Structure 1
Amino acid sequence: MAAKHRRERRFQRQFDALERLIPPLRGPMSTLRRDSWFPIRFPLALLLIAGGLLSFLPFLGIWMLPLGMLLLAVDLPMLRGPISALVIRARHKARRLTRHWRTRQ
Structure 2
Amino acid sequence: MLKQHDQDLAESRLSGLIAKLPRRMATFVRWLRDPKRLWLRVPLGLLLFCGGFLGILPVLGFWMVPLGVVLMAQDIGPLRRGVYRLINWAARRRPRWFGESYS
Q: TM-score range by the shorter chain?
A: 0.7 to 0.9
CA shift, 1:86, in A, is: 2.6
Compute the TM-score of the two structures, normalised by the length of structure 2: 0.74
What TM-score results when the alignment is normalised by the length of structure 1? 0.73
Kept in 1, the 8 Å contact 2:19–2:26? The answer is yes
CA contact (8 A) 2:49 2:69 kept: yes
- In the other structure, the counterpart of 1:87 is 87
Structure (1 or 2) with the greater helix fraction: 1
Report the AA paired with residue 42 of structure 1.
V
The gaps in structure 1 that reach 5 residues or longer are 96-105
SS of the counterpart of 2:60?
Answer: coil
Report how far residue 83 of structure 1 moved.
1.1
Measure the CA separation in 2 of the matches of 1:2 and 1:84. Answer: 8
Deviates more, 1:60-69 or 1:11-20: 11-20
Pair member with larger Rg = 1
How many equivalent residue pairs? 94
> For the aligned residues, what is the CA RMSD?
2.6
Residue 40 of structure 1 is matched in structure 2 by: 40
Structure 1's consecutive aligned runs of 4 or more residues displaced over 4 angstroms after TM superposition are: none
More contact order relative to length (CA 8 Å, sep ≥ 6) = 2
In structure 2, the gaps of 5 or more residues are 98-103
Secondary structure in 1 aligned to 2:74?
A: helix
